[in-house]
Structure 1
Amino acid sequence: MRYRFPCSLILSLLFCCVLQAQQLSFSPMRLFFKGAPGETVSETITISNTTSQSYEFLLSLKDWNRDSLGIKHYFPVSSLPHSNAKNIKLPQTSFVVAPGEKKTYTVSMRIPIADTQKIASNSMLFFTQVNAPRNETGDKSGIGIRISMEFGIQLFYTPQAAQKGTLRFLAFNYEPGHKKDSAGHRLVVKYQNTGQVHKDGFIRFELTNKQTGEEIKPEPVPIAIMPGDDQVVHYPLPKLAAGNYLAVAILDAGSDNELKVAEKNMHVEE
């Protein structure tokens, strides 16, 4: 928990998209800084509040990374080797958005003068609400619940010398579930970012029944991976008819990157 209030329980919710229910939006959710050594560069966040409520936020920085499943983890400022938090400048650490107001917030970064760094760095800027109203429970315990919203803005710095690299497959496997229950089957993809910059994109799967020719194209899986990291995606398969299948996995990191394709023959038992 980031904040504590008397007789209340706070639930911090980290949003990486527009909060449609509350009609409060932050855009963009990711800032990318580029510049020459010694230069100070700035990027702007737009906050729109179309509700009848005022929102008050405290701002803070954290380091972060992703584990082998792509899940974010947070750490104290400047504790990770590829943190850029010490070079980030915030004009203020509190921020209020009035009802119906649209405001901008500018984040600056000073590019190190002796910039020998080659790997992209990152940090996270949190906007944490501190004026959440209490929703009473209706009993006499005196305990209410405050839902304190927290928005995380990813801050990336890409050095001029950073190599783009590519995504590549390390493994592509089929893991059958319980016999006579194909609902437990899954595809497992292990892949790597060979570059020195952050990458995101999709893994796309295609299945073809070799007996009937039926093609199955599940929804793409969004991915995001740090420089030089490996990640694993476990993809649960829909229930399949018994038979032999050709499974295809495609790593798609956008138009600036070559598509990578892997194939796997798989047999689904009755």
Structure 2
Amino acid sequence: MSPKTKHYIVLLLICVFGFTSEGNSQNKSGKPSKTPKTVGVSVSPSHFHFSQKQGEVKTYDITVKNSTSTPKEFNVNIYDFDMNGKGKSSFLPAGKGKFSLAKWVNISPTFIQLKPFENKKVKITVSIPSDDTGRKAAWSILMIEQQAPRNNLLNTQKDGNTIALGIVPTFAFGVFAYQNPPNVLVNKVEFTDFQLKDSKNGKALYIEVQNQGDGIAYCTSYVDLTNLDTGEQQRLKVKNFTIVPELVRDFNFNLPNLPKGKYLAVGVLDYESSDEIQAARMEFEIN
């Protein structure tokens, strides 16, 4: 099966797949109390942000932990992914992406077996070329994919007209890996649109931004809202995001129930690695 035909559950937190069971602990009064205990499979970290220089070789660890009472098996692979202008991604074989990091990555081991309550480390070695090919941003995704044995199916129909089909449920973890060499421009994300729109939940402020630099930017976006009649201020929900070169991203900030009046909205882009911020402003009226 090619990467394009696979369907993954990609967990982007400290990746945990599992359930909870109850264990006993003590509360402040000294009496036993029931507390949830996580049981499942976890993968950490959930992403890598590299900033290696040209010619540098470094090795990193991914920890896969089995907190269940059954053994687990996983293949470890790396794929490239490309994004169109609006962020829709498509998986590609390693080395085929325009900004491929996979061709500079070595994984060891590529197959792991975990006993119950065992954890193992996967070594990720990143070798940045010393020539000009290493002077650009690059990214890929590491997939830790469960392998499950396929059981024989018993077909109880004897008429010869029945086909027995089986589905083996499995899961996978995606660990995004981004590489920014020191020479790239990571603070060139610009506002391309800022307007008030109708949404399913009423009115919303729509922001569109584009990465016009050649580096991967890690940004925070929010909107400061001021009632020009009363001076009352509030900050709409903060959004953290990663934006790769050439990508456009858009966000809707739903407005709370606002009293009638005139308002000033200031959209802000704050970069993780820079003191510089971008801002856009507009005034609107709620009737």
What TM-score results when the alignment is normalised by the length of structure 1? 0.79
Cα deviation, residue 28, structure 1:
1.4
Q: 2:188 aligns to what?
A: 166
Label 1:36 to 1:220 Cα distance change in 2 as closer, same or farther (>3 A).
closer
Q: 1:74 aligns to what?
A: 91
Cα deviation, residue 174, structure 1:
1.2
Counterpart pick for 2:265 among 247, 253, 262: 247
For the pair shown, the structure with the greater C-alpha radius of gyration is 2
Kindly indicate whether the alpha-carbon contact (under 8 Å) linking 1:246 and 1:266 is maintained by their aligned counterparts in 2: yes
Q: 2:206 aligns to what?
A: 188
Q: 1:28 aligns to what?
A: 45
Label 1:264 to 1:157 Cα distance change in 2 as closer, same or farther (>3 A).
same
Q: Does 1:46 align with 2:59?
A: no
Cα deviation, residue 34, structure 1:
4.5
Identity %: 26
Q: 1:15 aligns to what?
A: 11
Which runs of structure 2 are paired with 1:203-242 in the superposition (5 Å)?
203-242=221-260
Cα deviation, residue 128, structure 1:
0.9
Letter in 2 for 1:209: N
Highest relative contact order (Cα 8 Å, sep 6+), 1 or 2? 1
| In 2, Cα distance between equivalents of 1:234 and 1:27 | 30
Kindly indicate whether the alpha-carbon contact (under 8 Å) linking 1:203 and 1:220 is maintained by their aligned counterparts in 2: yes
| In 2, Cα distance between equivalents of 1:82 and 1:123 | 8
Kindly indicate whether the alpha-carbon contact (under 8 Å) linking 2:135 and 2:183 is maintained by their aligned counterparts in 1: yes
What TM-score results when the alignment is normalised by the length of structure 2? 0.75
Label 1:194 to 1:120 Cα distance change in 2 as closer, same or farther (>3 A).
same
| In 1, Cα distance between equivalents of 2:191 and 2:61 | 36
Kindly indicate whether the alpha-carbon contact (under 8 Å) linking 2:109 and 2:123 is maintained by their aligned counterparts in 1: no
Cα deviation, residue 132, structure 1:
7.8
Label 1:255 to 1:239 Cα distance change in 2 as closer, same or farther (>3 A).
same
The number of residue pairs the alignment matches comes to 254
Label 1:187 to 1:52 Cα distance change in 2 as closer, same or farther (>3 A).
same
